Structure 1
Amino acid sequence: MSVTVTFSNPRSSNSASAASMIASRASRCLRSRSEPPGASRRSMPPSVLSFPPALSDTGSHMISSIGGWLMETRLDGVAATEHRTRALLGAFERKDLAEVSALLADDSTLTLPMSFSGRTEDAARFTGREEVLGYARDAFTIMGRIRFANVRISVADGGRTSFVRADGDFTTADGRPYRNVYVYSFEWRDGRMVDGAEYGNPITFSTTFAPPESG
């Protein structure tokens, strides 16, 4: 994808040069976002990145405009990731397996790092969409109500990573309260979760779901 930027009536050669440099960087950013891996520039249709005349009047205004556009694009990615993170939590609350599946990449993984033994090995690891869905299906079966309270979401790495802190206000399938504290991390690629980790207190889980003692 080729991008052409035209400047009119720059007030100084220095400002025009600086604006051209910023525009060139913006053009490279656009190409990196729109060209598939290995694509040649000749195969991409040409387009023109145009700006309102008022913004092309000075190089300084042009620099400010392009910088603002790049920041807006980054913020859009952050907002989209937060939206997808909330959608994934909501799908779990509704026990909507189809929606959970739609938010997972084919090669997604989910890890439960907090082991019941207290050692450093993972309690469980699920590899591939079907295994992750199997974990979700089991969770939907043993839980009566799934509700996340006091949810706080942070997005990092330009929208590629999200973190969740939440209190679990759950009930078991037989109606007993189950309240754990959760921290999640999610890695995203092309709008789908590719790598997730769930941190919850294993003692709380064991106490609630331990088999009844035989008399």
Structure 2
Amino acid sequence: MFPEEIRAGSLAATDTYFEAFEAGDMAGMAAVLAADVVHVLAMSFDGGVEPAVVLTGKDEVLGFFAGLLRQVSRRVLADRRVTAGADGDVVFVEAVGDAVLAGSGTSYKNVYVFKFECADGQVRRLTEYSNPVAAHKTLNIPLG
């Protein structure tokens, strides 16, 4: 397979993932996740370098997002800026998150950088970086 074909598959998986997430379509998200996918929420709430959460396997990742989708009534990842690596298997996406919490109607905005590592048109690893202070202020997650 040529790098252009690999890149096209990785970009398609990334686009499908985001469209499904925004629509609350768990089946759409599942379709592009590898069975052994790893999703890392790399932000730290204590100032350390260890990630806040590491989810392993499609079931665990989808379980996490099922809970998240119940808590958030609107999910938009706007101003997406996409960069694919030279080999095509790594895609970086910068975006501005604009969400509304279902129970309270509270607006939650954050900035994100996602690193997708793909193979055969599926996401094998997803590392998510965001601003922990924004999460703290809206979601009452303790810092420090």
Deviations 1:163-199 (A, max 9, x none): 0000011111121111100100011111111111111
Choose which of 94, 97, 106 in structure 2 pairs with 1:176.
106
Please state whether the residue corresponding to 2:87 is helix, strand or coil: helix
The answer as to whether partners of 2:3 and 2:86 remain within 8 angstroms in 1 is: no
Judging by fraction of residues, say which structure has more helix. 1
Choose which of 81, 95, 105 in structure 1 pairs with 2:34.
105
Please state whether the residue corresponding to 1:159 is helix, strand or coil: coil
- Number of aligned residues: 140
Residue 93 of structure 1 aligns with an amino acid whose one-letter code is: E
1:209 aligns with 2:139: yes
Give the Cα separation in 1 of the matches to 2:120 and 2:12. Answer: 14
Residue 123 of structure 2 aligns with an amino acid whose one-letter code is: M
Which residue number corresponds to residue 127 of structure 2?
197
How does 1:151-190 map onto structure 2 within 5 Å? 151-173=80-102, 174-190=104-120
1:137 aligns with 2:137: no
TM-score, normalised by the number of residues in structure 1: 0.62
Judging by fraction of residues, say which structure has more strand. 2
Deviations 1:89-123 (A, max 9, x none): 11100011111111111110000111111111110
Structure 2: which 5+ residue stretches go unaligned? none
The answer as to whether partners of 2:76 and 2:99 remain within 8 angstroms in 1 is: yes
Residue 191 of structure 1 aligns with an amino acid whose one-letter code is: G
- How far did residue 88 of structure 1 move? 0.6
- How far did residue 158 of structure 1 move? 1.9
Structure showing greater relative contact order (alpha-carbon pairs closer than 8 Å, 6 or more residues apart)? 2
Give the Cα separation in 1 of the matches to 2:7 and 2:41. Answer: 25
Give the Cα separation in 1 of the matches to 2:50 and 2:94. Answer: 22
1:92 aligns with 2:39: no
Give the Cα separation in 2 of the matches to 1:109 and 1:195. Answer: 5
Give the Cα separation in 1 of the matches to 2:56 and 2:91. Answer: 20
Choose which of 1, 4, 11 in structure 2 pairs with 1:82.
11
Structure 1: which 5+ residue stretches go unaligned? 1-32, 34-72
- How far did residue 76 of structure 1 move? 3.3
Query: Which consecutive aligned stretches of 4+ in structure 1 deviate over 2 angstroms post-superposition?
Result: 73-77
Please state whether the residue corresponding to 1:162 is helix, strand or coil: strand
Residue 153 of structure 1 aligns with an amino acid whose one-letter code is: V
Please state whether the residue corresponding to 2:70 is helix, strand or coil: helix
Which residue number corresponds to residue 52 of structure 1?
none
